[in-house]
Structure 1
Amino acid sequence: MIESRPSELAYVERVWRSRSEDVGRMMSVATSHWELVFWEQHGQVQAAVLGPEAKASWAPVPGDAAFFGISFALGTSMPHIPVSRLVGGNVAIPDVTRRSLWLKGSAWHVPGYDNAEAFVLRMVREGIVDLDPVVPAVLGGACPDLSDRTLQRRFVAATGLTQGAVRQIHRARQAAVLIQEGAPAQEVVHRLGYFDQPHLARSLKRYVGRTATELSARDTAEPLSLLYKTAPLAPA
């Protein structure tokens, strides 16, 4: 079971925590957000920066482990670890203990579910995390005074993905949430602008790793990674 909450901080999309219980693997749903994740197993603490995922894939789940993660907002990045190099991958953070970790040569207290924002604000103050305002502006429907080429270059640099990929992933995740809530597939097609049910089916399989029928059944033996309701993006 994954517990999560939204954040009012512009740099953070969501904060979450979970514990593994008799689950060997999960379906990692495509996501356009990068994350900072900590986990403790058998008294050992580890941490890593996880990049965006352009498609769904199976992921192993360490047994008897506790997890905590910060999902960063679109447009945020760590300049010393370019997001474009992280897509589909991760970078381990060395020398992590229950109390401390090292980031760019400085000692930091390990954050938790309730003080994640304070940790991120320090990252911002020390230049470890940056935010390109062009990305949230574009996704919100604004038209920055930039050429299409420059806009696309900045978008990819800040997110690791194209605008089209971000929108397709976002829509598929919305569709999965609606289906889990009991919405019929045809209604989801209409509400989210898919061409037809086969188009929806292909999108779900690619980005969520489940069919509409499987989403309705809610497989607990091999669960999905974090899914949650989000506001729709403005049309491109």
Structure 2
Amino acid sequence: MALRFEHRDTELDESLVDRVWRTRSDAEETMTSAARTCWHLILSRAQGRLLAGLRGPETRATTAPVPPGTEFLGVRFALGAVLRPHPAASIVDGYVPFPVTESGRIVIGGEGWEAPTFDNVEHFVRRLQAAGLLVRSGLGDEERVTGPTERTRQRRYRALTGLSRTAVRQIDRANAAATMLRDGLDWRTAVETLGYFDQAHLAHALRRYVGYTAGELRTGRSPSMSFLYKTHAGPGS
């Protein structure tokens, strides 16, 4: 059975957290993870054991095993949000595990934190903020003031996000296209709406960033994959 994702918005400033999701695996399978521009906090529980860590921005679609009987909780942080001990640029296409104490607390920045649940992520995030571990980068503020050169802005953007503006646009656009196709729209609509040159251009982007063809997405023949909730080109467009 394909993974079923439940997701929700939060009460938090949108410059910090983009989305919260959860799912459960009932049987051993694999999941295709679409490329993404932001980092996630991922928690998994299986047989009473808690694992936690950060998945960084990903520059292409990847496939990973999913163990059976495991519950997953994910917090997608907004583009430019910074967890000071682990900036996004240091974990592009990577994963950083966090130690978990015997009492089930997650160790971040040398301190143990009560693991969040789907319903209380806001409390967890606010505590990280109060401790100075999680901050807004002010990404984009420099666009509204004079001073830094374009090269300086690009360098700062990559330092904060781990990606170039072009990569962010391409990844978010591919995710938006995949969402449109899974919603039943045809490839022509995706091409026209999102500014692809033609069907071949869209197909190349889907293979690289999503891992499936337009036909597989439209007909639902694609196996389990990470939740696609982007409905527009997103940041950087």
Other-structure match for 1:162: 164
How far apart in 2 are the matches of 1:170 and 1:2?
19
User: Deviations 1:174-204 (Å, cap 9, x if unpaired)?
Assistant: 0001011111111110000001110000001
Does the Cα contact within 8 Å between 1:47 and 1:93 map onto a contact in 2? yes
Following superposition, the deviation at residue 227 of structure 1 comes to: 0.6
What SS does structure 1 have at the residue aligned with 2:188? helix
How far apart in 2 are the matches of 1:3 and 1:96?
28
How far apart in 2 are the matches of 1:40 and 1:186?
41
Other-structure match for 1:187: 189
Out of 126-135 and 54-63, give the one that drifted further.
126-135
Identify unmatched segments of 5+ residues in structure 2: none
The alignment yields a C-alpha RMSD, in angstroms, of 1.8
How far apart in 2 are the matches of 1:208 and 1:56?
5
How far apart in 1 are the matches of 2:125 and 2:236?
30
> Closer, same or farther in 2 for the Cα pair 1:54/1:204, shift >3 Å?
same
User: Deviations 1:44-97 (Å, cap 9, x if unpaired)?
Assistant: 111011101100011111221001111100011112212112011111001245
In structure 1, which of residues 176, 179, 184 is the aligned counterpart of residue 178 of structure 2?
A: 176
How far apart in 2 are the matches of 1:114 and 1:99?
17
Other-structure match for 2:227: 226
Following superposition, the deviation at residue 153 of structure 1 comes to: 1.5
Following superposition, the deviation at residue 43 of structure 1 comes to: 1.3
Does the Cα contact within 8 Å between 1:46 and 1:97 map onto a contact in 2? no
Following superposition, the deviation at residue 37 of structure 1 comes to: 0.8
Other-structure match for 1:15: 20
What SS does structure 1 have at the residue aligned with 2:54? strand
User: Deviations 1:139-194 (Å, cap 9, x if unpaired)?
Assistant: xxx54432112211211111111111011000000000101111111111000000
Other-structure match for 2:90: 85
Asked if residue 4 in structure 1 is aligned to residue 7 in structure 2, the reply is: yes
Give, as a single letter, the amino acid of the residue that structure 1 aligns with 2:182.
Q
Report matched runs for 1:1-236 at 5 Å: 1-10=4-13, 11-96=16-101, 99-135=104-140, 142-145=143-146, 146-219=148-221, 222-233=223-234
Residue-pair matches, total:
231
Does the Cα contact within 8 Å between 2:172 and 2:230 map onto a contact in 1? no
How far apart in 2 are the matches of 1:72 and 1:96?
24
Give, as a single letter, the amino acid of the residue that structure 1 aligns with 2:136.
L
Does the Cα contact within 8 Å between 1:46 and 1:96 map onto a contact in 2? no
How far apart in 2 are the matches of 1:195 and 1:23?
39
Out of 79-88 and 68-77, give the one that drifted further.
79-88
> Closer, same or farther in 2 for the Cα pair 1:112/1:43, shift >3 Å?
same
> Closer, same or farther in 2 for the Cα pair 1:178/1:105, shift >3 Å?
same
Q: TM-score normalized by structure 2?
A: 0.91
Does the Cα contact within 8 Å between 2:43 and 2:74 map onto a contact in 1? yes
How far apart in 1 are the matches of 2:139 and 2:145?
7
Give, as a single letter, the amino acid of the residue that structure 1 aligns with 2:94.
G
Following superposition, the deviation at residue 8 of structure 1 comes to: 3.9
Q: TM-score normalized by structure 1?
A: 0.91
